[in-house]
Amino acid sequence: QAFLCVTSTLNMAVFRGHLALEDLLEEMKKQSPDLSFGPLQRDGQIAVQGSFPALRVLREFLLLKAKSLSEEDKREGKSHQRPRRKLQEHRGATEMRNSTRDAHREKQVLVLDTDIYLYMRCFHPKVFQANDVVISGVTDGDITTVCIESAGSKAGAAHGLRAKKMMENYTVELQKMLCKERICFKEHSRAEKQRYKQLWERLKPRYPQVLVTPYDTHIDVVGTSADVFKFTEEVKR
């Protein structure tokens, strides 16, 4: 499994009341013909699959659409305006970000593939360390949302942007070089899981750049294609 495309789940319900979602979907398909669109759900959610660059183009299109609707609401000058709602982007892209600024802090958000995030955390921890910046991640399945918060000063904002850019650059490079193999447990007993754990602990010194993440029913092995192939072959033997 290589990191060549991702699936993003978009919540289009924020456009309901402004646009017919079916018409908006057709417009999105024309805007991004290289993407694959799933069925539009009743709650307004839709799964979209494709490359990160194509998803980025779609994101920009939707953000511009949302901005134009927001400005339209402001022009109407309604005192009983609805609370501002944000376009929710839950699944996969190197850069699905929303920046907010106030007098005290600057906050930016990146949505990353969880395997890429874990690999970066393990082998490139300096990416998550910066002066005057707090970086945290929340994992939800195969997507991890990374929050970069910095002080509202010019220096703090610069450090935050530098940390974000570095994370983006590492993500792009890791996507090119990494692949993933999943090894499922034949049994779900504690004894079998313990045997697997002992095995990969013995193999770890020989494969220092391989990330092994255990789950209840399987283990995920992430690294270069050569390392992952050799590692999984030894495990299977």
Over its length of 237 residues, how does the chain's per-residue pLDDT go in tens digits?
A: 556 667 777 888 878 878 888 888 998 998 888 888 888 888 888 888 887 778 878 888 888 887 777 666 666 554 444 333 332 333 333 344 444 444 456 777 777 888 889 999 999 999 888 877 888 888 877 778 888 887 667 777 788 888 888 888 888 888 888 898 888 887 778 888 888 888 888 988 999 999 998 888 888 899 999 999 999 888 888
pTM across the whole model: 0.58
117 burial class (0-12, 13-18, 19+ CB within 10 angstroms)?
A: buried
